[in-house]
Chain A
């Protein structure tokens, strides 16, 4: 082997040694970091975020150290460098080796090559390689050894950190607090299509209503029992752990966990599944149809937070009026969905529904979600109403059925007057003539008042402004009007209002025909009043019966009134004030509570929890969690601030600033809605 070949061999050995040593040092550094992290985590639980960083830090450190060591060791790229390294350890060569491997002198100076060949430098190279590798190898071996000695879970928490691995660092033992460390696994209902989640030592858990909440801890001192509401559930053992499964309730609740003398709270915050949002896009608005025929396109869009299941359009047909309505309903355009949003579409044939003039068709879309645990949630769109116009309202789009006025109520009054007249006639033999006339005139007065009311109704229908107190009628009465003149006036008004477009039976206008029963009642009442005025109730009875019959006929007649013409009844407050026959007994008036009466109580509870922070921090945490539970549905900002403070306290950190923020959130001015305006004095 020539001297050049020997130097080249030494160069390769040195190069490999430098690379291996650098790699071992990097590896040792990475293992050291993992070891240090796992050891620290075993004593002080590192947060998951910090643990997630550890593998990256270890790898970065290893690479950086490897490159740095490699650059510092120098890469012996050529034989000259290797020869110089050997010359430094064998001064007797006096640069013979460097000269021998120099290409400029290669083979020209045999004496130098012979002198260099006599030196055996290979053992020195091997010793140097061993020395360079021994230290890092020992470091790596030591780290590996210690890592193997540590609990597997502890190393895994550092190498593969994951939510829910809090229990890996805890060992079971009869004296261990089984509630000190707990993992909560949330399994949402299948319909939601969400993944399971795990949480280490949470103070509260948010999950869909109906989710399976699995609590898991390491077995220790005493049997773990959970109390939720009024029910108690014992944990079941699973190896060296305990496990409890609860269902997420529909309202926020606190789970109290007990084990021997240990206690812990866990707040369950249900997340409700929203009902689908449905928008009816066609028809776009309510309308009145002239004829119940043709086809109408229906369309709607729907969306849901977890997924739609089915939907359809609902049709309700209402027929009738007054007190007599009938309804029939059906659904069309049923569809199923497999996504979170969808569209419904259908076409209805009005001919097939059998609508009649005056009927109303109410349309809306109904969509259900996939919630098979607490649902399904049902979402409905706004309702569109299509009304089929009656034949006699084609000339005016402003005509609508309006509530009947007092016609039928007048019938009641007329019946009362009739009964009073009959009673008076019956007792006629027992009373004096003066009494008879007095009582008869009293009935006549009521009969006249009722007649005026009927007259008002007639003239209101005829489109004449009667005034609030029936001025038109009064004017006619004041002008010594008689039934014939009223009838004639009504006929004239009807002719003027209707013109020739309205044609009735025989010589009557439809408007007059419509009012004829009331006009007949008006006439009969007129005659009855006259008889009663002269103290002849018996003679008035036939007229009063005729008036009652006419009013009954008017009740059953079809009536159309112009919407908005309903006359407001003005109560004469001064006249009726405290005239009631019965006396009530108002209870003691209780003052309305403040907008948020429980706020003071919550502040007191917070202050009480604060007083426990130094002496019993776990009790303070529990108090804060219970307070947070009360705040969940009324003040989310304060609930969040209190949760942060409770978590900080539970973690054993300084919670001063978090508690200050929580106190501020709790005492901030509540956003209570403005109260209603005042409304008069109490009775």
Chain B
């Protein structure tokens, strides 16, 4: 069986590469907490490429407006149709920001409208247990961005499975540090990332 490889989505518009350390950090966490066979480095895959279909979980982030091309839109729709899961995180942590608005629009066009994900969803207990739903980030608690602590994540569901998971919490900033620095944290803030990976692989 092949290794799980963390995939970062490269899209034509915007700054898709705004959080380059998140993949390594999550790979480290997956290895640190689970026995999942994981590749030591992530890959960067263009959204319009059929290469995307090799990866069960894809990560997309950025600050700038997201405008998918027709090919990207079609590929994303097919990717989710085949059972892939896209994790989108708003690096602006601002629901009034252009990333939030444009990403919502594009996801709705490509896959379907985003809806609130209940905090009792299996995602929050797929590995670590998060009784209160998605963990808050320092960016939320410090009042940056939209000055909101977002109580829920959003998702596009296919049946009872998440196709697109959308976060306004800015995990891209929260997890954007070198994995070696994890030892300085009293509580590892990437544990929720492990839940996302485990959910994508097992549900």
CB of A403 within 8 A of CB of B2, answer: no
Is A674 part of the contact surface with B, judged by Cβ < 8 Å? yes
A681 neighbours in B (Cβ, 8 Å):
1, 35-37
CB of B179 within 8 A of CB of A676, answer: no
The contact string, 1 if C-beta is below 8 Å from chain A, for chain B 33-52, is 11111101110000000000
CB of A568 within 8 A of CB of B181, answer: no
A549 to B3, CA, bound (A): 42
A676 neighbours in B (Cβ, 8 Å):
53-56, 82-84
Find the A residue at minimum CB distance from B67. Answer: A383
Is B116 part of the contact surface with A, judged by Cβ < 8 Å? no
Contact size range, A: 35 or more
The contact string, 1 if C-beta is below 8 Å from chain B, for chain A 397-433, is 0000111001001001100100000000000000000
With A403-B19, A676-B54 in contact, do A569 and B83 touch (Cβ < 8 Å)? no
Binds B, one of A101-109, A175-183, A571-579: A571-579
CB of B36 within 8 A of CB of A683, answer: yes
A579 to B188, CA, bound (A): 12
Find the B residue at minimum CB distance from A573. Answer: B31
A683 neighbours in B (Cβ, 8 Å):
33-36, 127, 198, 202
A316 neighbours in B (Cβ, 8 Å):
65, 98
A682 neighbours in B (Cβ, 8 Å):
36, 198, 201-202
B29 neighbours in A (Cβ, 8 Å):
580
CB of A679 within 8 A of CB of B2, answer: yes
B28 neighbours in A (Cβ, 8 Å):
571, 576
Find the A residue at minimum CB distance from B63. Answer: A325
Is A585 part of the contact surface with B, judged by Cβ < 8 Å? yes
CB of A586 within 8 A of CB of B202, answer: yes
A580 to B28, CA, bound (A): 10
- CB < 8 Å neighbour of A569 from B4, B56, B128, B178: B178
B202 neighbours in A (Cβ, 8 Å):
586-587, 589-590, 682-683
Q: How far is the CB of B4 from chain A (nearest CB, A)?
A: 4
CB of B125 within 8 A of CB of A677, answer: no
- CB < 8 Å neighbour of B31 from A323, A571, A583, A674: A571
CB of A680 within 8 A of CB of B84, answer: no
Interface on chain B toward A: helix, strand, loop, or mixed SS?
A: loop
Q: How far is the CB of A423 from chain B (nearest CB, A)?
A: 13
CB of A587 within 8 A of CB of B67, answer: no
CB of B127 within 8 A of CB of A680, answer: no
The contact string, 1 if C-beta is below 8 Å from chain A, for chain B 86-111, is 00000110000110000001000000
Is A668 part of the contact surface with B, judged by Cβ < 8 Å? no
A587 neighbours in B (Cβ, 8 Å):
122, 125-127, 202
A578 neighbours in B (Cβ, 8 Å):
31-35
CB of B178 within 8 A of CB of A409, answer: yes
Find the A residue at minimum CB distance from B184. Answer: A416
B178 neighbours in A (Cβ, 8 Å):
406, 409, 569
Is B143 part of the contact surface with A, judged by Cβ < 8 Å? no
Is B18 part of the contact surface with A, judged by Cβ < 8 Å? yes
CB of B4 within 8 A of CB of A679, answer: yes
CB of A409 within 8 A of CB of B177, answer: yes
CB of B40 within 8 A of CB of A360, answer: no
CB of A584 within 8 A of CB of B27, answer: no
Find the A residue at minimum CB distance from B203. Answer: A590
- CB < 8 Å neighbour of A679 from B5, B42, B70, B181: B5
Q: Which residues of chain A from 634 to 683 have a CB within 8 Å of any chain B CB?
A: 673-683
Top 9 closest A-B pairs, CB basis? A383-B67, A569-B24, A683-B34, A584-B127, A680-B4, A580-B32, A580-B33, A680-B37, A589-B202
Can you identify 17 A-B contacts, CB atoms within 8 angstroms?
A: A323-B63, A325-B63, A409-B178, A413-B184, A568-B41, A576-B32, A577-B31, A578-B33, A580-B188, A584-B33, A586-B126, A673-B81, A674-B82, A678-B1, A680-B4, A683-B35, A683-B127
With A325-B64, A362-B13 known, 13 other A-B pairs at CB within 8 A are A382-B70, A402-B17, A403-B20, A413-B181, A568-B41, A571-B31, A577-B35, A578-B32, A587-B122, A676-B53, A679-B3, A680-B36, A682-B202
